[in-house]
Structure 1
Amino acid sequence: MKKVLVANMTSQKAVDYLESKGYQVIKNDQASDDDFLEHADVDGILIMMHPFGESLMSKMPNLKVVARHGVGYDNVDLDAASAHDIVVTNTPGANATAVAETAMMHMLMAGRMFYQRRQAITDNANKRYLAAHHGQELTGKTVGLIGYGHIGQEINRMLTGFNVKVLAYARHQHEVTNGHMATLDEIYEQADFVVTALPATPETKHMINASVFRKMKKSAVLVNIGRGALVDEEALVEALTNEEIAGAGVDVVEKEPITAENPLLHLPNAFVTPHVAMISKEAMDNVALKAAEDIVRVLEGERAVFQVN
């Protein structure tokens, strides 16, 4: 019987699907290399965020497929996987609604500083800052969407009721219901809210940096629900501290999991969540099931629908 390793938090729907196809499903935390090496004979892995590269692949002789639980796959070494004839897949669109809802929440929370106002009920730390900074509404503003795939388009759909103008940036041309395609500089210079929804690649690393913050409006809010590597975090902290921009809402940071020492957590104009945009019951079911379906395809000799290497 072929074996598939999944993380403990994997949806039961995906586990049931794999077992219904005749596979033995093994669960563990996927928190360390040892969690993988304890089951080095598996044929497939449904992987979360743990780094997975040559040092692990070389010790797993039966491994044929690694399915990423989500859209981003920067934790998997694609070159090493290809060298070992391991198929890598992802799940585009499966969590788009959950991530888009998170982007909407971050625009509202960071724009109006709701979290800090709640904190101020029991903590005096930000009261003086909040008295001088009233925040801004989302309605009627210009929103720049950097990345216009499944998530960017879903954000745009959700924005319809806010009567905003959308400036969208992507590699390909798209119809933009509430606005039009734009260049990055147009977004940086014109947008009241800048939302990043891109994967981490060598080309996108630190694309939001000190020079970008100097182009943005002082009243602008940055929202990052893509990957932490998109933003030069040191430059972001400086821009927020010096009020070069008004605020930021981030679900992802450069070094994850985020720790209490991260300076973004101690700024009065930053709202931070711990990489949870994709977590909802519906998204966890959809993502895991889509990943499991591609695992089965590969192990049964078919081509994966969402192969990335």
Structure 2
Amino acid sequence: MRFSVLILGLLPLLAFAADDGDGKAPSKPDTLPAIQPPFDFNGIIEKGLMDNLHPTPSHIKYLTGNKMPTDCMAHAKEKNHGPDEFEVFEVYYEDCHVPWVMCRLKDTHVNATTMADTFGRMPLGMREFVKHVILFKPKDLPGAAAWDAGDVIAISEDSFRLYVLAHEMSHSIDAHIEVPGVTPSGKGGLSSSKRWAEQYALDNATVSDYARTLWAENLAETGIIALYNIVVPNGVANLQHNSPRQVFHQYATYTTYYRDIITPGKNQTCKQRVPDSKMVYWPDIASDGVPTETRTKKVGITLMEPGAFDENVTFVQPPAR
């Protein structure tokens, strides 16, 4: 029996306390230490995801004439890049009727084929909440591996990994998905709910040191472990030297609410695909080319209406082991 099946079966009995009561959650998830030794995100976890998340068949169509999504243009301008520096392309995956438009700096070492292959390995239920992926040089994202703004993932060429995508996509899931009885009706926000804080308090550690910085980051980092546990044979049992039971309630709670979204093959309809930003020709547009409504701030989660989160956060790459 898989370790994940055994422990998840216990979740309704030992995890969920009622959402009423007077207890207040700490302002951020730093009352627990990070798990020791640290999870090997760059090594065993990334390899497990690569070996077990298979590419979705796809084909690429390159766009010409400086045509690109408004969001790509806005973020490129913010980084002082010009239109000729970018390669823009559509990726058509066989599991969705709508392509994803991606943008990459031409001098990055990750090519369009690798971008399409890597992104296409992620479960469709997670990909649906991403508008665009923009590939930058590390200098464009100082101190960060990636960030998410308005359903757009900007990511460094040195950090284009499945576990980084899982982190960013978890922010979008958290922001978009209503959890009945836990988040406000029609809104996301599991990470900021009392339920999530209660489950956190039942554990002995967080999944990483970065998971201690903000509640949204705690959930996003936990999403990496939850995805690993779902797709890799034997799941977290492969990580026994880290004593994953110390973080059980966090990844089990994430899995309980988002299982169908993060399980490959569960979602084959592509009905929740977020709409792309408007296509424009840059620089052949009026004014400064950035409509007011596209000026979203960089945050660790997708901006929602009304905003479910407002922290200015990024994802910091864990050190290589």
- The TM-score, its normalising length taken from structure 1, stands at 0.30
Higher relative contact order by CA 8 Å / sep ≥ 6: 1 or 2? Answer: 2
Q: Which has the larger radius of gyration?
A: 1
